[in-house]
Amino acid sequence: MAEKFHFQPTPLTRLRKHYDVIVIGSGAAGMTAAIQAHELGLKPVILEKMDKLGGNTNRASSGMNAAETNVQLQHHVVDSYQEFYDETLKGGGGKNNTELLKYFSEHAALAIDWLADHNIILDELTITGGMSKMRTHRPHSLAAIGGFLVTELLKQVQKARIPLFAGLKVTELTTDDAGKVTGVRATTGKQSGPLTADAVVLAAGGFGANQEMLTKYRPDLKGMNTTNQPGATGDGIKLAEALGAKLVDMDQVQVHPTVQQDTPHAYLIGEAVRGEGAILVNKHGDRFVNELDTRKNVTAAIDGLKENGAYLIFDQGIRDRAKAVEFYDSIGLVHTGKSLDDLAGQLGFDAAALKKAVADWNTAVADQNDAAFNRTTGMERDISTAPFFAIHIAPAVHYTMGGIAINHKTEVLNDDGKAIKGLYAAGEIVGGLHGNNRIGGNSIAETVIFGRQAGEQVFNYINQK
């Protein structure tokens, strides 16, 4: 068995006063930006306010979307940038920033290759809601993408000897008289001071764990549970706003339909479970929705039941294809029945209704025709191999589509649409790419695509000064 990797953040005693580029945030966007900048010959540093590294990336489970990849061809999936673009635009209600979306859809395959060049191999495929093709890339082990990616990127950070400081919070972006960013002020809680840099990359994530900000922009979500890690409080957005950065789509907050919330901590049940063939049923045991419609529509259908959620139903065959279920089971989130009758008895379903829902689904899979709900994807597996499983889910705040305005070069823009010199942003902190609904698998893709771009553009900026 492989030895467990353990990353040790850089001791604060080794903090220097100047770096070529300061990257704020240790999620996939921040680490990718720092690695890319380092490989171009710059000296970056990563600052993380939390003790735990990886940010919200750790919570991602399904995979990383990309079109026209070699991996897809190996799986006999012929895809196109245009289809990827069109389906993301449709999924976002046509409200996506098309400049960002064009760059995103045309650079995702290159991001898969870049990861592979760093021995981060995503050679398996699944599908998420709102997509017509298998374009969600994930590791061969079928492990949840987030933890896998954080671990593998940390290995690259360690190998490159990029300093990464934890427990160091940035409180201010500093500028010169011309408004050009010159660095940051940061604090450990005990000591604080300035750090200078030629450029700063904001990769500090969204605000899904900040009840005050959520309530400000979306009063209807007040008090709703969140899948976000505690550090997702929008600090980076506020830092940029203080410099006059434009904010976009701040009221666009995604609620994820399948979150287990019967424990003190909310656990996202990734879309891959449905992508591999799971169905949703109500308290009676009836199926009620196309499970792989967009997150917005599936959430609305669950809310419409007025039953405090719904249940994911799947079998051993699907479980074998969605390895995250092993973790969900280990912490007590999965109900197991040796038969559908047994499962129905445990959960108070009408056994005949549940058996009919499963039988109808199995027929739909056999015929590749879901006449009841017009589902067309994630129909490779039926639900016929005992034991059978159920997970109780309900919608929860998951992702903030709004954030800082950037152009495709990741330059942060002010209200006039002009770039703030020396300031770049990537990842969930950015607004506009996803429109009014993010497609599953696009957030991880965004972090790597625009993280790389930030590293490249910082290099250009510093070298043309």
pLDDT of the residue at 1: 40
Examine the pLDDT at 279 and tell me if it is beyond 50.
yes
SS3 412: strand
Q: What's the rounded Cα separation, in Å, for the pair 180 and 422?
A: 6
pTM recorded for the entire structure: 0.91
Same domain, 103 and 54: yes
Q: Over the stretch 151-177, which tens digit does the pLDDT of each residue have?
A: 999 999 999 999 999 999 999 999 999
Examine the pLDDT at 74 and tell me if it is beyond 80.
yes
Same domain, 336 and 436: no
Q: Over the stretch 361-379, which tens digit does the pLDDT of each residue have?
A: 999 999 999 999 999 999 9
Same domain, 202 and 344: no
Same domain, 283 and 320: yes
Q: What is the CATH number of the domain that holds 159?
A: 3.50.50.60
Same domain, 121 and 199: yes
Q: DSSP character for 293?
A: S
Is 20 in contact with 441 (CB distance < 8 Å)? no
Q: What's the rounded Cα separation, in Å, for the pair 144 and 323?
A: 7
Q: What is the CATH number of the domain that holds 291?
A: 3.90.700.10
What's 310-377 look like in SS3?
EEEEEEHHHHHHCCHHHHHHHCCCCEEECCHHHHHHHHCCCHHHHHHHHHHHHHHHHHCCCCCCCCCC
Q: What's the rounded Cα separation, in Å, for the pair 180 and 199?
A: 9
Q: Which domain holds residue 278?
A: 255-397
Residue 460 lies in a domain: yes
Catalytic residues: 295
Q: Which amino acid is at 368?
A: Q
Q: How far is CA 56 from the centre of its chain?
A: 7
Q: What's the rounded Cα separation, in Å, for the pair 93 and 90?
A: 5
Residue 227 lies in a domain: no
Examine the pLDDT at 353 and tell me if it is beyond 50.
yes
